[in-house]
Chains A and B, each alone.
Chain A
Amino acid sequence: MIDIPYAIGAIVVMAVVTFGLRALPFLAARFLRNNPLVQHLGRFLPLAIMTLLLLHTLVSSARQNLSGPWQELLAVLTVLALQWWKKHPLLSILTGTALYVLLRNWGR
Chain B
Amino acid sequence: MPTTPDLQAARASSRISVLSLSVPVAMGYVPLGMVFGFLFVLSGAPWWLAICTSVFVFAGAAQFMMVPMLAAGLPLASIALATLVVNLRHIFYGLSLLDKLPVKPGPRWYLIFALTDETYSVLTTLPPGTSTRQMVTVALLNQGWWVLGTLLGALIGSQAQMPLVGLDFALAALFAVLAVEQWRQAHSVAPLWVAVLSYALAWVLMPQQALLIAIGLSVATGLLWRQPAAAEVTP
Which B-chain residue is minimally distant from A102 (CB atoms)?
Answer: B166
Given known contacts A14-B57, A22-B90, is B235 in contact with A34 (CB within 8 Å)?
A: yes
Are A14 and B59 neighbours in the complex by a CB distance under 8 Å? yes
**Which of A34, A44, A72, A75 is most buried by chain B, counting CB atoms within 10 A of its CB?**
A44
- Number of chain B residues whose Cβ lies closer than 8 Å to a Cβ of chain A: 94
The residue of chain B having its C-beta at the shortest distance from the C-beta of A23 within the complex is: B112
Is the Cβ of B31 less than 8 Å from the Cβ of A43? no
Counting chain A residues whose Cβ lies within 8 A of the other chain, the interface size class is 35 or more
**With A48-B194, A58-B172: A24-B94 Cβ-Cβ less than 8 Å:** yes
In the bound complex, how far is the Cα of B174 from the Cα of A40, in angstroms? Answer: 25
| CA A57 to CA B85, docked complex, whole Å | 17
B77 nearest in chain A by CB position: A13
Interface residues of B in 50-93 (CB under 8 A from A): 52-53, 56-59, 61-66, 68-71, 73, 76, 79-80, 83-93
Alpha-carbon distance A61/B24, docked complex (angstroms):
31
Partner of A54, one of B57, B62, B95, B172: B172
How far is it, in angstroms, between the C-alpha of A33 and the C-alpha of B99 when the chains are bound? 14
Contact B56 A15 (CB under 8 A): yes
Chain A residue with minimal CB distance to B64? Answer: A53
Neighbouring A residues of B76 by C-beta, 8 Å: 6, 9-10, 13
